Amino acid sequence: MPAPQVYTSLQTAGRNQLRLVTLLPSPTQDATIQCTLSIRSLKDQTLAYEALSYEWGDPNSSQHEILLDGQPFKVRRNLWQALRCLRTELSTRTLWIDAICINQEDIAERNHQVAMMGNIYNFASSVRVWLGEKGDNSREAFLLLHEIWESFEEVSRPSTEGYEKAQALRKKLVERNAVPPTPSGRFDALDKLSIPPLQIQKGETFEASRDLLVQERRVAWWNRLAVPSEPLSPWQGVAALVERTYWSRIWIVQEYLLASQTVIQCGRDYIDGTRFDEAVSLVGDLFERRKDNDPKPLPEILRCLSRVASSPGIKLPRSRISDHERTLMELMETCKSSKSCDPHDRIYAILGLASDVPPEAILVDYERSIFKVKMDVAWWYSTRSRLKSHPASVSRVCSVLDEIFADYADRV
């Protein structure tokens, strides 16, 4: 538990003040982790920090002692492992970490800071996603995902030379009524204009453009990837990455989706978040494309692809790519099976993402009973939201709330 004397009180007027932790360097990996705390404002134009997104873990798990402003401070094992891997030999690192930066024993402060968390993660220069220690072929998985992303980017980016060839072919086509006879012929025509003149068939339509180059090369890319030549272990590693328990936490939905930039890390290995999102989505798409078609991948690899396609760890990368607004109702539906240590978080963790609920509409209050938290949501939808004139929709909200808190006995 944190020692109260570590913390200086934050101003709760407005939603601006926060604490940041500075992780001090050490040339020795096994040296005691040392950090300092500072109070800053989100309005500060010079503010620069990384926000850590991680799994708190079992409250009964072992705890490790670090030094915070020179005083002993205990953290759970997963956070301790993250700090060890994030610490560098020579330079400091400025981070926002909820377990350290929020006085968890001060309910009023906790309410205030949780209400700010959407902005905290959104304003961070980067969100460092800590999946845990390396293992289960995680390093091979990162290498495979990087390779998949890089190769797909390559086929999606036709060269200037290829585009000029496409433009030259456009001039040779007879108005809008001519095409090369086959898709492969179209691709060859665009890529190899030095071949003999094409046989143009009357009545067919063809548009020579960048899109055609990209489409044809992507088809070839998918076909090459359909029967992977890599060893099985990297594919198993990808499946294990997206099945890690991190992805089942409800708080990471907001932390992940509000980040302007993410870095995914296992142990000391990491990959750019955009590359991770796109590559994992491509692996999931590969399963959907190949599960009912020939040629099929090896059965073992197909099972890995199936695990990725159905894992909780593919939903967030796909949601981040789609980047659309979500109502509280949609978020409750999507996240109703996500986990949290505190039942209040089943609502409070997603409020910052809800496009239809203003910041002051449902207040964060960890002293409020779960029954009253449910009533806060139901009251909003029945009296103030655009659903208030649709009793069936409000009834559905209440039904979803019952599902979310099904394992928690209501107390007034």
**What is the predicted pLDDT for the residue at 357?**
86
**What is the predicted pLDDT for the residue at 64?**
94
Cis peptide before 59 (omega within 30 of 0): no
Residue 185, classed as helix, strand or coil, is helix
Dihedral sign for Cα 297, 298, 303, 308, please.
negative
State the burial class of residue 115 (Cβ atoms within 10 Å of its Cβ: 0-12, 13-18, 19+): buried
Question: Could you tell me which residue, 40 or 318, shows the higher pLDDT?
Answer: 40
Q: Could you report the per-residue pLDDT of 89-127, keeping only the tens digit for each?
A: 999 999 999 999 999 999 999 999 999 998 999 999 999
Q: What is the 3-state secondary structure (H, E, C) of 340-405?
A: CCCCCHHHHCCHHHECCCCCCCCCCCCCCCHHHHHHHHHHHHHHCCCCCCCHHHHHHHHHHHHHHC
Q: Could you report the per-residue pLDDT of 125-173, keeping only the tens digit for each?
A: 999 999 999 988 899 999 988 888 887 766 565 554 544 554 454 444 4
pLDDT above 70 (res 279): yes
Residue 276, classed as helix, strand or coil, is helix
Residue 409, classed as helix, strand or coil, is coil
Percent residues over pLDDT 90 in the chain = 36
> CA-to-CA distance for 28 and 410, rounded, in angstroms?
50
Concatenated DSSP letters of 229-244: -S-HHHHHHHHHHHTS
**Predicted structure pTM score:** 0.77
- Average pLDDT of the segment spanning 290-310: 64
Residue 192 neighbours by CB under 8 Å, 6+ apart: none
pLDDT above 70 (res 220): no
Q: Could you report the per-residue pLDDT of 336-376, keeping only the tens digit for each?
A: 888 888 999 999 999 988 888 887 889 999 999 999 999 99
Residue 85 in tokens: 């891997």
